[in-house]
Amino acid sequence: MDSVALRGVRARGRHGCLPAERELGQEFVVDATLFLDTAPAAASDDLAKTVDYGALAGELAAIVSGEPVNLIETLADRLAMACLRHELVEEAEIRVHKPAAPIPVPFADVVVTVRRSRP
């Protein structure tokens, strides 16, 4: 299976369990890897036969900026399901980074990775 990857899609969201996270919001970073057969698109040079990653980036950013959830696991799942709504995508791997998570010790990043596929 081929893949198309988007790395570093940034959007501000209000996800988290703490009241300050909901009130102030923070930046989230999303990496998405879509698994699909790109041969038909390559053979025809037709955007309609693959995933429009520009449009997808907008969809993912809108989800991050949209309805808040407590857990980034939930957010990652919602993002994966949005990818699978594109009929050519057979599987999606999503990484949600929360680099400003409220952790009281120095750290580089918090990342949740989910992988979802069509039934």
How far apart CA 24 and CA 47 sit, in angstroms, is 39
Q: Is 98 a catalytic residue?
A: yes
Q: Which of 98, 107, 109, 116 is catalytic?
A: 98
Q: Integer distance in angstroms from the first to the last C-alpha of the chain?
A: 16
Residue 54 in contact with residue 37, Cβ under 8 Å? no
Greatest Cα pair distance in the chain: 53
Backbone angles phi, psi at 55, to 5 degrees: -65, -40
- For the annotated catalytic residues, the residue numbers are 98
